[in-house]
């Protein structure tokens, strides 16, 4: 008899218990951070009415996004120096305190400032959760548990707007922030217990404050340009060009600073690792395609399918749940094969096919056909998003795990902003061009249609037909742009060396 078999089974069981213990602590942290990106959106009108402020409303969401994105790599690097638990617990406290401040805010300026502070805590929740999982679970086994993280994001995407809208209507928008207090307290207790098992390898080095400041400034300018472009300001306006130019200058300064820093926030050796760079590019492009799809699909259902806002959210469910299923399949496949390249390539091919079918068939597919196409897109992209994180962590040195995770999450978030910007810009530009070719360019703008379920009501038959043709062509071009984004990720996956997944964390 093989005497090693019982020992291997015992080790596997112990490893599974260790993984579940860590997950029990960090999953609630991730859910907290994810919900606060989605639950606030439907409450914005109620906030505006209560605080008597209708200017700069978008900053309620944007302020959180800016700081949550910018501080992610900083938390990652600091956790390499002081340990994940030492950074996660203060991040939870900061998130809860900022939530209380948001709940008691007396004007819009206060709320925006406190949302920015909350975003700092949210950056710690997300980056420390991912880095803690990397510490506790080997890359080969990690995909098995990444499905839980994908499920958290899907739950936040579906339940966040519903819960936020219900609280704003039935109680008060302030309860969106008050509920974070008991959830945050629970997350603190669970994380304090769960993360004790992760060893701490403290490194006493100087913190790269200049690098951190440059990352914050560069990321903020990039996100502002993508947020303002085509909406608040024209793409070629001095404001947008100024943001873009300043971001490039700061990026150059950041590279110089990271070269000379003794312990850089973003070690440049990471970007000399071809496998890591390919994983980052896959994460960036997959996130761009996901966010592009989540922007386009509800509008597609509303403007071409006649659905109202709540129904369009329900129609998105097949995409979100197939996304979770794709993550599950990828995790099981990674554990069985010990490699990820084939899984990621097949996932990106599947997502490209789903997007191209929507381009080809469009609104003629009907609800069932569109749902099938969304399932293809969801399974394909769902298998890529968690896999790209595992590939990046597998390629990075153990000493850089926090920094590598933080940098990848930062660039993945930037990819999401880039994808939604590209999809929205293509949609608006293509619509304007088609309406001009129909001789109606000055009559109807896409911005006037967006977000209105009855936007096409009252139009005469000739105008209605022209608008629907323009919308069909516009959505086709926008879905094609998403397919091209996924195809760029596919090219990166094909160029990737198929490294075996490590069996040690």
DSSP string for residues in 380-420? HHHHHHHHHHHHHHHHS-GGGHHHHHHHHHHHHHHHHHHHH
Q: What is d(CA 82, CA 80) in angstroms, rounded to the nearest whole number? A: 6
> 3-state DSSP call for residue 207?
coil
Which residues touch 347 (CB under 8 Å, ≥6 apart)? 326, 330, 379, 380, 381, 382, 383, 384, 387
| Cα–Cα distance list, 113 to 118, 217, 218 (Å) | 9, 17, 19
Query: What are 228's two structure tokens?
Result: 């303002």
Place of tokens 């994105």: 69
User: Rounded to 5, what percent of the chain is helix, strand, coil?
Assistant: 80, 0, 20
Among 437, 423, 446, CA closest to 466 = 437
Question: How far is 471 from 475, CA to CA, in rounded Å?
Answer: 6
The residue whose two tokens read 């406190």 is 114
124 bridge partner residues:
none
Contact 359, 480 (CB under 8 A): yes
Quick one: which of 348, 330, 338, 326 has its CA closest to 492?
Answer: 348
Which secondary structure element, helix H or strand E, spans residue 150, and what is its range? helix 139-170
Query: Looking at the DSSP assignment, which residues form a beta bridge with residue 233?
Result: 229
At 337, give phi and psi (nearest 5°): -85, -30
- Residue whose token pair is 């995770």: 405
Neighbours of 175 (CB within 10 A): 17
The residue to which tokens 């962590």 are assigned: 393
Q: Position of tokens 């710690």?
A: 124
Question: What are the distances in angstroms from CA 214 to CA 117, 121, 253, 444, 456?
Answer: 18, 19, 8, 42, 46
**Measured between alpha carbons, how far is 304 from 294 in angstroms, rounded to an integer?**
16
**Token pair 């390898």 in the structure block, residue:** 201
Q: How many CB atoms lie within 10 A of CB 440?
A: 15
Please tell me the number of Cα atoms within 13 Å of 467 on its side-chain side: 20
Q: Using alpha carbons, list the distances in angstroms from residue 429 to 230, 235, 473.
A: 9, 11, 11
Per-residue pLDDT for the chain (505 aa), expressed as one digit of tens each? 454 445 544 555 566 677 777 777 778 888 888 787 777 876 777 787 787 665 566 677 778 888 888 888 888 888 877 778 888 899 999 999 999 999 998 888 888 889 989 989 988 888 888 778 777 777 767 666 766 777 777 777 667 777 777 887 788 888 888 989 998 899 898 888 877 776 666 556 577 888 888 888 888 888 888 878 777 788 888 988 998 999 999 999 999 998 888 778 888 888 888 999 999 999 999 989 988 888 788 888 878 777 765 666 677 788 888 888 888 888 888 878 888 889 999 999 999 999 999 888 876 777 788 889 999 999 999 888 888 888 888 888 877 777 888 888 888 888 888 888 888 888 888 888 888 776 665 556 665 565 454 556 666 677 777 778 888 888 999 999 999 999 999 999 998 888 887 766 5
Q: What is the pLDDT of residue 8?
A: 46
- For residue 280, give the 3-state DSSP assignment: helix
The Cα–Cα gap between 79 and 399 comes to 11
Cα–Cα distance for residue pair 111/456, rounded to 1 Å: 36
Give the DSSP H/E element, type plus range, for residue 283.
helix 274-303
Contact 105, 255 (CB under 8 A): no
Number of residues that this document lists for the chain: 505
Q: DSSP character for 229?
A: B
CB 423 within 8 A of CB 295: yes
DSSP 8-state code for residue 364: G
């Amino acid at each position: 008899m093989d005497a090693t078999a019982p020992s291997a089974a015992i080790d596997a069981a112990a490893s599974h218990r260790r993984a579940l213990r860590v997950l029990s602590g960090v999953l609630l942290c991730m859910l907290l951070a994810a919900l606060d990106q989605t639950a606030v959106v439907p409450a914005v009108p109620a906030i505006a009415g209560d605080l008597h402020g209708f200017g700069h409303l978008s900053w309620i969401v944007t302020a959180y996004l800016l700081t949550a994105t910018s501080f992610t790599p900083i938390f990652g690097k600091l956790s390499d120096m002081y340990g994940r638990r030492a950074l996660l617990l203060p991040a939870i406290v900061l998130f809860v305190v900022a939530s209380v401040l948001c709940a008691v805010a007396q004007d819009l300026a206060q709320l925006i400032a406190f949302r920015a502070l909350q975003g700092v805590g949210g950056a710690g929740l997300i980056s420390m959760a991912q880095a803690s999982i990397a510490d506790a679970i080997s890359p080969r086994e990690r995909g098995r548990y990444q499905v839980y993280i994908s499920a958290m994001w899907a739950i936040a995407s579906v339940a966040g707007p519903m819960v936020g809208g219900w609280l704003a209507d039935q109680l008060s928008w302030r309860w969106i922030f008050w509920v974070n207090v008991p959830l945050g307290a629970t997350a603190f207790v669970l994380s304090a217990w769960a993360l004790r098992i992760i060893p701490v390898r403290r490194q006493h080095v100087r913190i790269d404050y200049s690098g951190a400041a440059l990352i914050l400034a560069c990321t903020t300018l990039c996100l502002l340009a993508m947020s303002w472009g085509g909406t608040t300001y024209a793409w070629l306006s001095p404001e947008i060009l100024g943001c873009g130019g300043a971001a490039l200058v700061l990026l150059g300064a950041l590279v110089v600073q990271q070269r000379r820093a003794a312990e850089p926030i973003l070690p440049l050796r990471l970007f000399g690792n071809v496998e890591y760079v390919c994983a980052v590019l896959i994460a960036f492009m997959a996130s761009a395609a996901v966010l592009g799809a989540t922007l386009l699909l509800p509008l597609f259902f509303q403007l071409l399918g006649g659905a109202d806002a709540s129904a369009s959210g329900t129609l998105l469910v097949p995409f979100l749940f197939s996304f979770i299923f794709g993550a599950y399949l990828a995790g099981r496949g990674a554990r069985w094969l010990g490699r990820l390249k084939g899984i990621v390539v097949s996932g990106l091919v599947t997502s490209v096919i789903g997007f191209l079918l929507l381009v080809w068939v469009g609104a003629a597919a009907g609800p069932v056909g569109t749902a099938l196409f969304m399932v293809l897109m969801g399974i394909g992209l769902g298998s890529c998003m968690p896999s790209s994180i595992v590939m990046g962590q597998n390629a990075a040195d153990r000493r850089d795990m926090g920094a590598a995770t933080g940098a990848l999450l930062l660039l993945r978030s930037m990819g999401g902003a880039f994808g939604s910007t590209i999809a929205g810009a293509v949609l608006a530009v293509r619509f304007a061009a088609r309406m001009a070719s129909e001789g109606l360019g000055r009559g109807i703008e896409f911005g006037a249609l967006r977000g209105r379920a009855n936007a096409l009501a009252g139009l005469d038959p000739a105008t209605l037909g022209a608008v629907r043709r323009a919308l069909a062509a516009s959505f086709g071009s926008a879905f094609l742009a998403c397919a091209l984004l996924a195809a760029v990720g596919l090219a990166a996956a094909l160029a990737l060396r198929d490294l075996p997944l490590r069996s040690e964390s």
